[in-house]
Amino acid sequence: MKRSLERLHLGVPILVASAVLLGFLGNSLQAESPTETRPSFPKAPENAQPLPSPAGFNPNHRVTDAGSRSFWAHTFSSGAHSVAVRGQEVFTAWYDVRNGDSDVFFAKSVDGGITFGPNVRVNDDTGHARQYKPSLGLDAAGTIYLLWRDDRRGHADIYFARSEDGGKTFTKNLLLNDDAGWAYQGNPAIGVSPEGNVYAAWSDDRNGQGDIYFTVSRDRGKSFGRNLRLNDDAGRSIQSHPTVGAGSGGFIVVAWEDFRNGRSEVYMARSTDGGKTFEPNRRVESGAEGTVQVSPSIAVDPHGRMAVAWAQFRPQMGPVDPPDAAKGETLWWEKVRQGDADIELAVSVDGGGHFSSPMQVNDDRSGRPQAFPSVAFDPRGGIDLAWEDFRNGQADIYFAQIGPGQASLRSNQKVNDDTVRAFHYHPSLAVDGEGRAYLLWTDGRGNPFVSSADADANTEEEGNDIYFARSN
């Protein structure tokens, strides 16, 4: 049964001071329609404690181990899943061109991100095909799952590999899309449930336009089921850039950019049976008519709460045309970074049945854009966010927290610690059991003033690296 999205309001007012202070949901949400039946998802933890004051981040560390400033490396993945953490182990993934073409690489830290081990190539092809945009997942047993776009068959497919030895070796690569043609597949996103089910979603042109396709593995990545189309629109509109949130008990949410109404909005579909079936698509409330939403990131916690973040443009200010997936979307990335986009956040405490009114996360008034957020739940009850931010005239990595039951968003923090004017793009965020934040991003401090379009095209002799930081 299709449920309408009813806007919720906060039990505390939104305060405005020198920075934008945002109300957090906690347990203070009240529905405008008290008679509507809500999904039976548990509420936020009643014993959630306020987070301690943020202590900043440790010094940045370079993860890539090839010669600095000699190749291009990128962290971009749909939904920003490029880093995961388990105790003192930190797992990272990216793609770079150190070997002359683009390959997927992995690196692991066993000391909480202070040092990283050797970079491990994941794709097993022997030719000169390109691999892009890995998305990383991790289960409770420490099995690593990687999903990426792969051109080894002469066109863009979705490939997968897993590691059961901590990333020392990876399994034979597995093709996931089951179409017989030469259609484009790209922008993959992965989610792993507490039970070890692996969920994969991606953009797919097999029907002549961009759709969102999905598949699931119920044997920890050894095999996958048939592909399932998730978007339920009847037209030929474009859907792209999915993000996957996996909860317990078969609960899954996939969100994506959707152009069915003539501009990009965030739509979602959810399943309560482990991906066998999905409910009808619904739009995540944007808060204002005519706005443009791009690059969503989703997080789901064990208590049934859901957080969705995205970059939002005011009406007539954002990219109107969808990304041209087959011809390279880097120019579309540049369009996303133009104008005054802000990072917005909406939260649900009932598994996506209802959402809060969106909250602006960035606290600047520079008139410059923010883009490509990554969101994660703090196990103590808060929400962490990271994004790329142009408030200082170049792209930096910024971070913010919302504490459980708190009435304000803490001040934004700059994470990259270099002092040169360089680009820092596409952050990915994970949070450990103690509430420490782990961030991975694309970093151009070795090659200042290079745009992402230059980087993706590999037109310069110098390049960029993958950098990491952990909160104290």
Asked whether the predicted pLDDT for residue 41 surpasses 50, the reply is no
pLDDT for the residue 315 = 65
Place of tokens 């749909």: 78
Contact 377, 301 (CB under 8 A): yes
The mean pLDDT value of the chain amounts to: 84
20 against 51, higher pLDDT: 51
| Chain segment 69-90, per-residue pLDDT in tens | 557 899 998 898 999 999 999 9
Contact 309, 344 (CB under 8 A): yes
pLDDT-based confidence at residue 407 (cuts at 50, 70, 90): low
Asked whether the predicted pLDDT for residue 20 surpasses 50, the reply is no
| Chain segment 428-454, per-residue pLDDT in tens | 999 999 999 999 999 999 875 454 444
Q: For the chain, what are the domain ranges? A: 8-33+40-470
181 against 471, higher pLDDT: 471
Q: The pTM is what?
A: 0.86
Asked whether the predicted pLDDT for residue 112 surpasses 60, the reply is yes
List, as one string, the DSSP characters of 288-332. Answer: STT-EEEEEEEEE-TTS-EEEEEEEEPTTTS--SPP-GGG-SHHH
pLDDT-based confidence at residue 370 (cuts at 50, 70, 90): very high
Asked whether the predicted pLDDT for residue 135 surpasses 90, the reply is yes
pLDDT for the residue 26 = 43
Could you tell me what percent of the chain has a pLDDT over 90? 68
Q: If 0-12 CB within 10 Å is exposed, 13-18 middle and 19+ buried, where does residue 377 land?
A: buried
| Chain segment 215-253, per-residue pLDDT in tens | 999 999 999 999 999 999 998 999 999 999 999 999 999
CATH fold of 8-33+40-470 reads Neuraminidase (2.120.10)
269: tokens are 């579909």
**Residue 325, SS3?**
helix
pLDDT for the residue 34 = 30
pLDDT for the residue 409 = 83
Mean pLDDT of 356-381: 93
Q: Which amino acid is at 231?
A: N
pLDDT-based confidence at residue 4 (cuts at 50, 70, 90): very low
pLDDT for the residue 330 = 56
